[in-house]
Amino acid sequence: MEEEVYNADEKELFELIEFVVSFFAGAIPQSQTDIDNRQKMYEQSDHLKKFVIKHANTRFEFEQNEIEDEKKEWTDYYDATCTHCKFHSSFQPIGMVKDANYYRFFTFKCSKCEKEFRAEYPYEPHQLVSYYDTYIKNAAKRDKQGKIISMKINITEEELSGMIERYKDLKSKVHILDKAVMDYEKSEEEYNGLIKTGIFNYSEMKKTCIPLPFPPSIN
């Protein structure tokens, strides 16, 4: 299916602008004020139309990129270690599994032993943050000041601090991304409000576009 660049509100606004502009183009001005007002209306309409076209196309491009990025998740290669034969390489996902906590993991097929295995970490960034968070909390026994007393899992303190660094880095990246998404949604909301106002204004103008009755025909 062909993707639509313009949404229903934008199309409605275009139609209204078109109607009002062509009505005024065909009307006979009664005064200089009429001529000036008409000119002003043309310019405003043209400006609004250009603004909507630009915004809708940027949004369309953004959405297409999102779709492409999602597709890419499945064609990209990920570093992983086979849980069966410990072969370390880059693999393309062949599927996805959920664990008991609903974390989603890619599954890969090992190119050495040919067995399937699950990725060590979830792939979705928010899930990965939460996964790291739980992992780090449960990795060591700590005193009240947070100092490590003993390790609860089979990794060294250095490995754990490396992981904590990666966790902090990931968390701030996810935070920046979330903020960008929120800003984008807020600006879209404002834009949609602007379109609604445009529809209202041009509908009001359309109401004043009363065609003159045809002159009576002369027999």
Residues engaged in binding Zn ion (CB under 5 A): 82, 84-85, 87, 110, 112-113
List the structure tokens of 188. 């879209």
Give the span between the Cα atoms of 21 and 107, in whole angstroms.
58
Query: In the complex with Zn ion, which residue's Cβ is closer, 24 or 117?
Result: 117
Query: Which of 84/166 has CB closer to Zn ion?
Result: 84
CB of 92 to Zn ion, least distance (A): 15
Q: How far is the CB of 135 from Zn ion (least distance, A)?
A: 24
Q: Which is nearer to Zn ion, 60 or 87 (CB)?
A: 87
Which contacts (CB < 8 Å, 24+ apart) does range 198-201 have?
Answer: 198/13, 198/16, 198/48, 198/52, 199/9, 199/12, 199/13, 199/16
- The Cα angle at residue 97 between residues 95 and 100, in degrees rounded to 5: 175
Strand order across the beta sheet in which 95-98 lies = 95-98, 104-109, 116-118
The residue with tokens 């106002």 is 197
Q: Which is nearer to Zn ion, 6 or 87 (CB)?
A: 87
Minimal distance in Å, beta carbon 114 to Zn ion? 7
Adjacent-strand bridge partners of 80: 89
Q: What is the SS3 assignment for 103? A: coil
> Smallest distance, Å, CB 83 to Zn ion?
8
Which residue, 112 or 142, is less far from Zn ion as judged by CB? 112
Distance in Å, CB of 116 to Zn ion, minimum: 9
Q: Are the CB atoms for 87 and 113 separated by under 8 Å?
A: yes
Using an 8 Å Cβ cutoff, are 199 and 9 in contact?
A: yes
Whole-number minimum distance, CB 89 to Zn ion, in Å? 9
SS3 88: strand
Q: Which CB sits closer to Zn ion, 40 or 112? A: 112
